[in-house]
Chain A
Amino acid sequence: MAEDIKTKIKNYKTAPFNSRFPNQNQTRNCWQNYLHFHRCEKAMTAKGGDVSACEWYHCVYKSLCPISWVSKWDDRRRAEGMFPRKI
């Protein structure tokens, strides 16, 4: 399973179709992957698992999200109590 993920990350071209977001507006897809990546990172470091598996979500949100959004969310995340969801 971990090898599977590593080959998927190596062969990554772009974000694949996601049945949760089938329409043209992919905002939520971008947001969900951003959240997933940071939650995955936090959970894996807490459990002592392999953080590099979370890289999949990182690749997907980098493909989907505008850079300005990502930098805004990163700033909000680092400031205490400013991020609208639990990470």
Chain B
Amino acid sequence: MVAGASLLSSRRTSAAAMLRQILLQAKKHPSLIPLFIFIGAGGTGAALYLMRLAMFNPDVSWDRKNNPEPWNKLGPNDQYKFYSVNVDYSKLKKEGPEF
């Protein structure tokens, strides 16, 4: 109830206002701090992974006219996955002839 009332009191939704809100809540209810840490880490992790997907994923093409087949930009030694179990990327070579 107290948390609800103080949420309604600050209507601005900018990131700074949200952080101030979180700090005020943490001072009033310090047991909430682990919650903020985990939710913050999860949210930042999700956002960072989305950025990685948007910028580096070889299946994603933002500009279809100039970049129609972005997966072809990966060389045979490039590793996109975080951890590869069986494959030794340094040993791979380009298959198939040039044309």
Could you tell me which A residues sit within 8 Å of B by CB distance?
1-2, 5, 8, 16-23, 28, 32, 36, 39-40, 43-44, 49, 53-54, 56-57, 60
CB contacts (< 8 Å) of A60 on chain B: these are 95-96
Q: Is B80 a contact of A22 with CB atoms below 8 Å? A: yes
Type the 1/0 row for B56-83, where 1 means its CB is closer than 8 Å to any CB of A.
0011000000000101101111111100
Q: Is B95 a contact of A56 with CB atoms below 8 Å? A: yes
CB contacts (< 8 Å) of B87 on chain A: these are 17, 22
In the assembly, what is the distance between CA of A39 and CA of B84, in Å?
32
Known contacts A19-B77, A21-B71, A22-B84; is-contact A53 B97 (Cβ 8 Å): yes
Number of A-B contacts (CB under 8 A): 52
Question: How many of chain B's residues touch chain A, expressed as a range?
Answer: 20 to 34
Min Cβ gap A3→B in Å is 12
Known contacts A17-B87, A20-B58; is-contact A57 B96 (Cβ 8 Å): yes
CB contacts (< 8 Å) of B72 on chain A: these are 20, 32
CB contacts (< 8 Å) of A32 on chain B: these are 69, 71-72
